[in-house]
Structure 1
Amino acid sequence: MQSIGSPLMWSLFAAFVLVALLVDFFAMSKQGAHRVSTREAAIWSVVWVGVSFVFMGWIWWHLGGTSTDEAARAVANAKSLEFLTGYLIEKALAVDNIFVFLMLFTYFAVPAEFQKRVLMIGILGALVLRAAMILVGAWLIAQFHWILYVFGAFLLFTGIKMWWAAGQEPDLDNNPALKWIRSRFKISPNYDGEKFFTVNNGVKMATPLLVVILLIGIVDIVFAVDSIPAIFAITTDPFIVLTSNVFAILGLRAMYFLLANMHERFHLLSYGLAIVLVFIGAKMLLIDVYKIPVAFSLGFTAVTLAVTMVLSLRIPPKGAGGSAFPFASKKPDQPARHP
């Protein structure tokens, strides 16, 4: 499988991700457990988006975007566009991740000052999962071209399922993953700081914080299964696939705190994401009949998401005034809902 990723490009990318994570960990450990303000989240969100665009600009320049060679410029423009389209799609799907995280934090009444650590662990898990699944996906596509049709059908099914489930309140009480965790751990009814285990009446128990982290890990797997095929519909270049995914994930924690209080304003976004997934699935199924241009995919995705966000602001959600989540009225200082 052809890729623009030279050893130098892979090395620079790996070094950047490592430095970014170290800076994030250092900042988090220095600040300690605290409630992230909207201003802080907005600043970091802008920083991560800006860094992503700088990286895209570097790809364009490195591949010869300023060269007098028309062939080099064409490759630079094409790969930069692929990165931007993949980044936008993965960023949009990450918003759905955020709303699920919010639901979990609300259900378990996770104190705001502890949420940052949970999200950081979740992001690390997502990075490892995405890298592994992208490598496997790239190998499968290189060996078996027909796997693209499987990915396309899966995305089509996922998009239809997402449309059908949009607006419905998930039933966490009967969630199979939560039932499995309950059967494996004795769980404390209350938090004990940021500890994952505590002693309650002489019995060692898992805290609700550990349960939340385990559930977020499962969410990471589910969303990785959805998002990896989506990016392969845009490009099969492993370097572009992995870098666009990673940059979309790196800003996930800041974006969560920025959007945490805005989930009801974008109540129609799930419908837009469903349309995008159906479109991408159809694009993949038609790949040997007609290759939909990447520029069209970018425009379609951007317009669809923009329209659904605008409609969300203009059309009030059903039962306006209430919460979109079943336990949203719980306060962080209340005892956690027993897992």
Structure 2
Amino acid sequence: MTTEMIFWAAFVLVFFIVFTVDMFVTDHRKGAISIKQALSWTAVWISVALLYGLAIFLFYPGGSEKATAFVAGYLTEYSLSVDNLFVFIMIFTAMGISQKNQPRMLKIGILLSIFLRILFILFGVGLLHLFHWLIYVFGVVLLFTAYKMAFAGDEEIDPRDNFFYKRVSKYIPIEHDQNSMHFFVRKKGILHATPLFLIFILIGTTDIVFAVDSIPAILGITTESFLVITSNVFAVLGLISLFFALEGIMNIFRFLKQGVAVILLFVGIKMIISGWYQISISFSLLFIVVALSVSILISIMLKPKEEKAIESVK
């Protein structure tokens, strides 16, 4: 058994154990998840990811470079997926899902997202190996996305416009019992889809649309499938818990979008110039950390205009 196979096996085992424990805690809690609980689970997933990165550093061939690429990819995906959290909030709002039922629905829905992401990564990595010139196309896409993220206004997204939602609601009756933990139920002999099934489809398909931007960013750091997939999955799992914390502390990170736009710009330029100049992974990691830290710091230091206006009146 090769070292890579051992690390794949360890990754699957860790994923299964921690995700199962997370689901068990979710199913046996009372009421909605508190910010403290959400942040605690976020810390657990981040710690697991960093420990996995440490194992790569210590035991994987070319450990230092591979571990640096893993962490850089992890931070990139983590930062670029923050927007997804706000889309998830809109999905739950549009579907009328209570906070009590959101955790299990989100975690089940994210499994489809992970499956689709892995397919997309394998497809994307294969394309880059066969047609290296596509890295320049990905770079241009990232530049456009960075501009759009930094300067475009926030667009209202109605999850009910999702193609799969429309198809399901058109051909299968919908049972609106959000407490059902089954994908389908029968009423008077007729099969009905449940909100859990719709959330499963909506989260999985909506998230993969955003991954079209984030996965090329990771491919700009490394094209090794093992590193791209593991860093991507760990980042997505860490964001699940952060979702529930962000419901109460969104304003703290109101400039995070601009920080992410800067990261997209940097990675896009890095991909475009890769044929002439290679920017080191260490510098990429440093740039990502600084961009995220500065945007979060600015978010904390600069108060919204509404809050300043209230203080001036006082």
What interval of TM-score do these two structures reach, taking the shorter chain for normalisation?
0.7 to 0.9
- Distance in structure 2 (CA, Å) of the matches to 1:51 and 1:212: 27
Is 1:58 equivalent to 2:35 in the alignment? no
- Distance in structure 2 (CA, Å) of the matches to 1:210 and 1:128: 16
* Cα displacement (A) at 1:248: 0.8
- Distance in structure 2 (CA, Å) of the matches to 1:239 and 1:316: 42
Secondary structure of the equivalent of 1:287? coil
**Aligned match of 2:98 in 111, 125, 132?**
111
Identity level (%): 38
- Distance in structure 2 (CA, Å) of the matches to 1:201 and 1:316: 55
Is 1:78 equivalent to 2:65 in the alignment? yes
Q: Is the 8 A contact 2:149 2:258 kept in 1?
A: yes
Structure 1 residues 253, 282: closer, same or farther in 2, change over 3 A? same
Q: Is the 8 A contact 2:110 2:200 kept in 1?
A: no
RMSD over aligned CA atoms reads 2.8
Residue equivalent to 1:49: 46
Residue equivalent to 2:250: 263
- Distance in structure 2 (CA, Å) of the matches to 1:228 and 1:111: 31
Q: Is the 8 A contact 1:272 1:305 kept in 2?
A: yes
User: Can you give the 5+ residue segments of structure 2 that lack an aligned partner in the other structure?
Assistant: 309-314
Residue equivalent to 1:161: 148
Is 1:172 equivalent to 2:170 in the alignment? no
- Distance in structure 2 (CA, Å) of the matches to 1:217 and 1:174: 14
- Equivalent runs, 1:218-229 vs 2, <5 Å: 218-229=205-216
Residue equivalent to 1:308: 295
**Aligned match of 2:19 in 12, 18, 21?**
21
- Distance in structure 2 (CA, Å) of the matches to 1:154 and 1:132: 20
Q: Is the 8 A contact 1:5 1:239 kept in 2?
A: no
- Distance in structure 2 (CA, Å) of the matches to 1:112 and 1:7: 40
Q: Is the 8 A contact 1:85 1:298 kept in 2?
A: yes
- Distance in structure 2 (CA, Å) of the matches to 1:139 and 1:197: 36
TM superposition score normalised by structure 1: 0.80
Residue equivalent to 1:292: 279
* Cα displacement (A) at 1:319: 5.9
Residue equivalent to 1:249: 236
Q: Is the 8 A contact 1:33 1:114 kept in 2?
A: no
User: Can you give the 5+ residue segments of structure 1 that lack an aligned partner in the other structure?
Assistant: 65-74, 322-339
Secondary structure of the equivalent of 2:290? helix
Residue equivalent to 1:72: none
Q: Is the 8 A contact 1:123 1:252 kept in 2?
A: no
* Cα displacement (A) at 1:225: 1.4
Secondary structure of the equivalent of 1:6? helix
Secondary structure of the equivalent of 2:260? helix
Residue equivalent to 1:100: 87
Give the number of aligned pairs.
305
* Cα displacement (A) at 1:215: 1.9
Structure 1 residues 176, 216: closer, same or farther in 2, change over 3 A? closer
